[in-house]
A = this chain, B = another copy of it.
């Protein structure tokens, strides 16, 4: 299996961290194709950066999905998720959607830990658009830059676990999701120290991508995820133009 791991941020550092985590999580023999956004924000953390990221993500898919078996969108905002499901014939997985779907099988009420006060309202809007609003038990913000540095991990991990335990005790959370691509693979490290199960989006995303590849569902021929054809676009990546026109040999 060949997995396109897509980072719509323009920071190779996060792409590398995600790719390393995916390698540890995926079944042996999985080939990983990590790609980084060509344009847009270093780290997407605002609506404006999300708007650019949508374009960046679908461009990456149009350019790199050919020959892959699935796409993992390794951005907290699941940038380009619906677009990718429409454009491609292979499974497209969003890390936050995957975490939510997986979490539902571990607990009824989900607690979230994130690293930036501002992102709360962005997450909330996304989760509600998925219809998972009622499943949210609560939120905690761990304000820390150390999350981006290797040396800071131990101290931050302690804060994260304290936040998760507090979500369980006071808000009734039964499972926790740690947001952010930078937390790729952290679940394995955090889980032993928390009183409820912990998920990170990249871990959940790899597992859901594998499941969907094995499922091998057919491309829809009706509805919002059927492939568009005969569409005309200008001044975007030639692969996008070709894909929308439909003369790309049904590339995936």
Q: Tell whether A129 is near chain B: CB-to-CB under 8 Å.
A: yes
Q: Tell whether A48 is near chain B: CB-to-CB under 8 Å.
A: yes
Of B42, B52, B107, B207, the residue contacting A220 (CB under 8 A) is B107
Flag if B47 contacts A82 (CB, 8 Å). yes
Of B45, B86, B118, the residue contacting A48 (CB under 8 A) is B86
Q: Mark A191-222, 1 if CB is under 8 A from B, else 0.
A: 11011111100011001101110111111111
Find chain B residues with CB under 8 A from A156 CB. none
Name the distance in Å between A115's Cβ and chain B's nearest Cβ: 16
Q: This chain: how many copies in the complex?
A: 6
Flag if A217 contacts B48 (CB, 8 Å). no
Q: Tell whether A4 is near chain B: CB-to-CB under 8 Å.
A: no
Name the distance in Å between A104's Cβ and chain B's nearest Cβ: 6
**Chain B residue with minimal CB distance to A219?**
B197
Find chain B residues with CB under 8 A from A122 CB. 224
Q: Tell whether A240 is near chain B: CB-to-CB under 8 Å.
A: yes
Name the distance in Å between A234's Cβ and chain B's nearest Cβ: 5
Find chain B residues with CB under 8 A from A41 CB. 231-233, 244
Find chain B residues with CB under 8 A from A48 CB. 58, 83, 86-87, 228, 231, 240, 243-244
Given contacts A47-B83, A240-B48, A244-B49, A224 and B108 within 8 Å (CB-CB): yes
Flag if A172 contacts B120 (CB, 8 Å). yes
Name the distance in Å between A184's Cβ and chain B's nearest Cβ: 14
Q: Tell whether A102 is near chain B: CB-to-CB under 8 Å.
A: yes
Query: What is the interface of chain A, defined by CB distance below 8 A to chain B?
Result: 10, 25, 27, 38-42, 45-52, 54-58, 80, 82-83, 85-87, 91, 93, 97-98, 101-102, 104-109, 118, 120-122, 124-125, 128-135, 168-169, 172-175, 187-188, 191-192, 194-199, 203-204, 207-208, 210-212, 214-226, 228, 231-236, 240, 243-244
